[in-house]
A = this chain, B = another copy of it.
């Protein structure tokens, strides 16, 4: 009986892991960032090399690729590593933790922000562009045109003097703006994720005990990673800015339905297996 159970277990898990693996260009360092953000974001949280490999390898990622990615993350100051007995333990640096904490609210909120107030920034053609470009890089602004950006909430205090600033509320949003808010790649990624989440949901064992902590860690990592690539590219904008068939809200609901069925394991459980 054990063999049969194991092979059924492998089968649902492998299928789920394959389903939830991002079909586009899986960057290993970025997957590791998602994993630490999800499971080991608090100061003192550590994951051994062994646990990392066991969580990540089911996504079809080889140990060498994990080693290379860890090397890069260390070089970029995101992650640090320490010997721990005969093994090594990896953890987010203060910088990595700060970066992770900055995007976590957008990733993990169950209700998208729906600000009432909006402001528009307009830059002078040509020379004035720089102030706006700098802001677009640093802050959450939606770029309507090269010289126009839309921001949520009231006008920040320290806005550049060369920008023309309006309090604004959208009346009519034409198709070209909706396409800019939600380009085809983003729409496709969201539709694909919604479909894959629904299939994974159907495959997941109904009894929580049938899913091991490591399996949970893998699946959470894959879900969070794909959701992150949708939600962080999706500007927080009023519904009128999205196409009629925009699956963002449905996607968000499906992500948290599934994450709720896969409650975060304690780090100790992951090391124990």
Task: Give A residues with C-beta under 8 Å from B.
Answer: 119-120, 122, 124-125, 128, 144-148, 155, 159, 161-177
Cα distance, A128 to B174, chains bound together (Å): 11
Q: How close is A216's CB to chain B, nearest CB, in angstroms?
A: 44
- Contact partner of A165 (CB less than 8 A), chosen from B146, B148, B170, is B170
- Give how many copies assemble into the complex: 2
A-B interface, 5 closest residue pairs, ranked by CB to CB distance from nearest: A166-B168, A165-B172, A165-B171, A124-B176, A168-B168
B120 contacts A166, C-beta separation under 8 Å: yes
Which chain B residues border A144 with CB–CB below 8 Å?
122, 164
Cα distance, A158 to B162, chains bound together (Å): 33
Cα distance, A163 to B148, chains bound together (Å): 14
Contact A164-B173, Cβ < 8 Å, known A145-B147, A147-B147: yes
Cα distance, A152 to B88, chains bound together (Å): 67
Cα distance, A172 to B156, chains bound together (Å): 11
Which chain B residues border A177 with CB–CB below 8 Å?
124, 164
Cα distance, A207 to B162, chains bound together (Å): 53
Cα distance, A270 to B233, chains bound together (Å): 73
21 A–B contacts from the bound complex (CB under 8 Å): A119-B171, A120-B120, A120-B168, A122-B145, A122-B148, A124-B145, A124-B176, A124-B177, A125-B145, A128-B176, A144-B164, A145-B148, A147-B147, A148-B148, A155-B172, A159-B172, A164-B172, A164-B174, A165-B170, A166-B168, A167-B168
Q: How close is A161's CB to chain B, nearest CB, in angstroms?
A: 6
Q: How close is A230's CB to chain B, nearest CB, in angstroms?
A: 24
A170 contacts B161, C-beta separation under 8 Å: no
Cα distance, A170 to B169, chains bound together (Å): 12
B176 contacts A162, C-beta separation under 8 Å: yes
B174 contacts A162, C-beta separation under 8 Å: yes
- Contact partner of A170 (CB less than 8 A), chosen from B145, B164, B172, is B164
Q: How close is A262's CB to chain B, nearest CB, in angstroms?
A: 41
Residue of B nearest to A161 (CB): B174
Q: How close is A263's CB to chain B, nearest CB, in angstroms?
A: 43
Cα distance, A148 to B124, chains bound together (Å): 11
Q: How close is A217's CB to chain B, nearest CB, in angstroms?
A: 44
B166 contacts A166, C-beta separation under 8 Å: yes
Residue of B nearest to A131 (CB): B174
Which chain B residues border A164 with CB–CB below 8 Å?
144, 170, 172-174, 177
Cα distance, A125 to B168, chains bound together (Å): 20
Residue of B nearest to A150 (CB): B166
With A120-B168, A165-B172, A166-B166 already in contact, 6 other A-B pairs whose C-beta atoms are closer than 8 Å: A124-B174, A148-B148, A159-B172, A164-B177, A167-B169, A168-B168
